[in-house]
Chain A
Amino acid sequence: MRVSGLALRKSTRRAILIWAFLAPSLLIFLLYRILPLAWNVVLSFQAWSPMKPAVFIGLDNYQEMLFDDDVFWQALWNTFGIIASAPIGIAIALGLALLVDSNIRGRDVYRTIIFLSYPLMTVAVAIIWRWMFDERVGLINYVARAAHLVDKPIPFLNSFTWALPSVIAANIWQMLGFYMVIILSGLQTIPGNLYEAAGIDGANAFHRFIRITVPLLRPSLFLCFVIGMLNSVTSFDLVYVMTGGGPGRATEILVTYIYKLGFNQTRFDYAAAVTVTFFILLLGITFLANRLSGGNAGAVERD
């Protein structure tokens, strides 16, 4: 088919307009995301510090990371632990969303209360929960002891067993409001006639939930999972303020370890290698989550 000159000029003008609108965002993305990432990749193959010129060392940093660094592995497992906690938060949020989506009295108040945790600064959340978990003056221990649930206070943040679950609990609490709003908006897009038809067919509440609610909520749940996962693995401020990665390395996650390597130990080269690994890990998990959600998350469907 022959395209007329006028139509071509129109499509060209349209393309230029699109690129003109995209350019500022793309430029910022290039400057603050792509270039640092590319430099990180280069740096991970070098020995470099702000006080020494860069020397190419091949895979030495990666070799040290994989075969000679126990802390990296500990931080990696802890990071997986935090990622694995995202579905717990989503499940709780789903329950809460179903609750506040029903016709209970004061549901708007409940929605507001649950959402309030999300806009709080992470540092503030960390400080609040650090005091809540405090062994001597913390509210949780106070209530537990007052209710005679425990004899001795639980050293939540000072214990190798409790520290990571405590940080995860604070992280879930902060994200709960966000999850709930996303799921709630997903619930409200499900046509009511589907439930009515299922009811006429004799489906009970559980079956309606499994057969209608969950499948139609899949995009919302995927969004929650990806954002929740990214928020969890990058929750540097939460971990740093609550435990600093300790006790020992009990709450060290990759992002806190990268910071310590770079700014406490002046090992920017090695930190770059861990960062590249971390980035690949995130890419892999996001890809996997996308596949699990049907493989077209984020796509715009047109009639």
Chain B
Amino acid sequence: MDRRRVLKTGIAAATTLFAPAYLHAQSNKKLSILTWNIADQEALFKEEFADFKAANPGVEIEWLDKKGPDLPAFYQTQLVAGTAPDIVDLQGALWVEWAANGAILDLTPYFQADPEFAKLFNADYLSSWVYDKKNYLVPFYVSKTLLFYNKLMFNVAGLSAPPANFDDILKFSQAMAKDEKTGFITLNFDWLYWPLLKMNGIELLTPEMKKPAFNTPEAAAVVDRLAKATEAGAINKIAWTGRWVEPNGAFSSGTVGMMHAHSAAYFFVKGQGRWINRDSLGAVEMPGDWSTPTNHGFAISKSSKNPELAFALIKHMTSNKWATKFAGIRRVLTANIAADKALLAAVQEEDPLAHAVLQTQLAHTDKMTGNWPLPNDAQIKDAFWPELQNALLGRKDAKTALADAERAVARVLRRS
């Protein structure tokens, strides 16, 4: 053997030996799947994969899980290296950017080839993953915002029912604000605060999504009222500074009257707030029934060598059987109609409060907002939010902040 061949063989052997295990799964009949911050479900995934492998002999599955902020960076580095996992679990609006730039596969033909599969899912949740008339994701688990309210604080303030409109939110908040107590808080990551603006008829962009549409006198008036309510202590400042741990923590302490958060917050606050029981916590839709989703879905990398097999695994994992099991263990909705029905039936007896929370997730799914299919969503968010914060925390007046936000958002749109 000549020296060059020895060298090549050596390099190939070293690469095979030392490459990450999941990269081996790029060859035929092998699949790699990357999930997002759900390592606690390892036992269930192993069961699901074993079942899939039994039905598809010779298939190997490599599973990898990454924590919240790590997944996008990790996936992008793998994409550059040409070793992107076959299946990736995506949350928020990240998928739009990746879909628009050709990183993930258009799943429309797969849905068309199997119309019965599409019928398994809530149509509104499924359509929230459509960009440019193409569907890119299959629902894994879903969640949208709702209004939690502290009935004890409502009683003390003489309030008998949850707010019916924006005015009520501010009025009720002020009524409950006293000393350490504040009336309202919201989660603010992604666009989770947007229902507050949407219920006042404020739009982020024009219908063709080419220009900002939020810089209006009406929007300035709404932002100004929110800022004044914050200054007066009616709205907790953490609403505009914390992300999700801090607002959830504040509400759990029993000193905040209302919290606008996604359904996953229920289990967080219930675990922390001793005051929480069926009689003390209320869960309803936000006024106007507006909500912002924060869903997880499965996408297939365009670079996958086995897209059909990858889609088969996704179908397997989101099937009635496994979605039901997953929903039961994790206490989340999956947008799989049968699985969600089973979950609701199961929790109705054992945790009526959880039942009330989860029910809101399947109601008014046609009124979801803040989930615009924008390829540059992250950049727009980053241009808009700091200016809104400036107004809400009193650094700029609402009119100036919105004008500055408009300039920043317009710049992003122009650059795109």
Interface residues of A (CB under 8 A from B): 49-52, 64, 68, 70-71, 135-136, 155, 157-160, 244, 246-249, 260, 263-267
Contacts and interface: CB of A to CB of B under 8 A. Distances in A.
Contacts of B408: 70
Contact of A50 (B80, B379, B382): B80
A51 B103 contact: yes
A265 B384 CA distance: 13
A51 B408 CA distance: 24
A205 B98 CA distance: 67
B79 interface: yes
Nearest to B81: A50
B248 to A, nearest CB: 14
Q: Is the interface of B mostly helix, strand, loop or mixed?
A: helix
B393 A263 contact: no
B198 to A, nearest CB: 23
B378 A264 contact: yes
Contact of B379 (A52, A159, A244, A267): A267
B237 A266 contact: no
A248 B101 contact: no
Interface in B385-415: 386-387, 389-390, 393, 395, 408, 411, 415
B72 A248 contact: no
B382 A265 contact: yes
B386 A246 contact: yes
A49 B378 contact: no
B214 interface: no
Contact of B393 (A70, A135, A247): A247
B156 interface: no
Interface in B218-256: 237-238, 240-241, 243, 250, 255
B103 A248 contact: no
B408 to A, nearest CB: 8
B386 A136 contact: no
Contacts of A265: 378-379, 382
A70 B383 CA distance: 10
A167 to B, nearest CB: 14
The 6 A-B pairs with the shortest beta carbon distances in the complex, nearest first, are A51-B101, A50-B76, A158-B241, A248-B386, A248-B389, A50-B80
Interface of B: 69, 72-73, 76-77, 79-80, 97-98, 101-103, 180, 237-238, 240-241, 243, 250, 255, 378-379, 382, 386-387, 389-390, 393, 395, 408, 411, 415
A248 B393 contact: yes
Contacts of B79: 50-51
B241 A266 contact: no
Nearest to B97: A266
User: Of A49, A70, A265, which is in contact with the most chain B CB atoms at under 10 Å from its CB?
Assistant: A265
B103 A249 contact: no
Given A136-B180, A158-B393, A266-B378, A51 B102 contact: yes
A284 to B, nearest CB: 28
A51 B378 contact: no
Contacts of B241: 157-158, 246-247
18 contacts: A50-B77, A51-B98, A68-B411, A135-B237, A136-B250, A136-B255, A155-B237, A157-B241, A160-B393, A160-B395, A246-B241, A246-B389, A247-B241, A247-B393, A248-B387, A248-B389, A248-B395, A249-B386
B406 to A, nearest CB: 13
A10 to B, nearest CB: 34
B214 to A, nearest CB: 17
Contacts of A50: 76-77, 79-80, 103
Contacts of B98: 51
B153 to A, nearest CB: 16
A205 to B, nearest CB: 47
Given A158-B240, A244-B243, 16 more contacts: A50-B77, A51-B98, A51-B101, A51-B102, A51-B103, A52-B101, A136-B250, A158-B237, A158-B393, A159-B393, A160-B393, A248-B387, A248-B389, A260-B382, A266-B76, A266-B97
